Amino acid sequence: MDKVAIVTDSVACLPDEIVSQYGIRVVPIKILFKDKVYRNGVDLAPAEAYKLLAKAPDFFSTSPSSPSDYIGIFSELATSGQDIFCLSVSSELSTTYNVARLAAQQVRQEKPDCSIKVMDSRNATASQGFIALAAAQTASRGGNLDDVIRTANTVREQVQMVLTLNTIRHAYRTGRIPKIATQMGSMLGVKPLLTISNGVVHLIGIVRTNKKGVERIIKIMEQKAGKRPLHVAIMHTAIPEKAEALKQRISAEFNCVELLLTEVSPVIGYAIGPGSLGLAFYTLPSQAV
């Protein structure tokens, strides 16, 4: 058993095999659809969630986990004798960070010998997932809590994410684009490009076709990373075939030391819509060519 247990939320969209390999605990954020509540990834598979979103987008919303969700996991891990590193989706996008901190405070009162660190990832989707994964890899090599925190800080400073959306229709939910603009943009068929910086989603461009969107995000990664060894995750919302094709291209054109394929959590997908593709990536100074 590792000295440090890694906990994150379902926005990190880590592939199931990664979660299983490293024993990462994933706290599901809730999806609300009409009068029903679903736990992301537990009660509702992503494919089904995207069907609901397409059916009635205005009745689709999300809600953070409750403190009790975290308290149960923290208490279990503390009882096993492990220290805990918990990574949340950006506090600019969700109250999850504050919820996890409240839970950690309560568990510390009940188990004062337990060490719990809750970190704001300042990211979402696979860029958040990469921070959690790097932390888990450090823990699996025998790292202590301080080692895990240093790794997470290093990757948090380096990781980047870019997305090309199939439609601007849902993007008003990011808070960066007014709803009226998304309605007009939808009629024009434009495709927005988004990134996240300091925990906040930013619109960085608009293209006319999906092909141009893909070319743009690849170019952005190339400009930022060059030929250095890369950790890359291909992200998609309900288009696995196109994501696989992009993965094959990235594998052929870049020096990837780690290459993942994952579906964006519907918790974020409701704000970017089906048909989106994205890249999360980072390179470390020690991994120079």
pLDDT in tens, the chain (289 residues): 889 999 999 999 999 999 999 999 999 988 888 888 888 878 888 888 888 887 888 888 888 889 999 999 999 999 999 999 999 999 998 999 999 999 999 999 999 999 999 999 999 999 999 999 999 999 999 999 999 999 999 999 999 999 999 877 756 555 555 554 454 455 456 888 999 999 988 889 889 999 999 999 999 999 998 889 999 999 999 999 999 999 999 999 999 999 999 999 888 887 888 899 999 999 987 654 4
Specify whether 242 is located in the same domain as 277: yes
Domain end point (choices 157, 173, 198): 157
How much is the pLDDT for 170? 59
How much is the pLDDT for 5? 98
Residue 271 resides in a domain: yes
Host domain of residue 111: 4-29+64-157
Domain end point (choices 157, 183, 205): 157
Please name the residues in contact with 141: beta carbons below 8 A apart, sequence gap of 6 or more. Answer: none
How much is the pLDDT for 286? 66
How much is the pLDDT for 39? 86
How much is the pLDDT for 62? 83
- Dihedral pair phi/psi, residue 257, rounded to 5°: -90, -15
Specify whether 165 is located in the same domain as 243: yes
Specify whether 173 is located in the same domain as 203: yes
Domain end point (choices 126, 157, 188): 157
CATH of the domain at 282: 3.30.1180.10
Specify whether 137 is located in the same domain as 204: no
Q: What is the pTM of this model?
A: 0.92
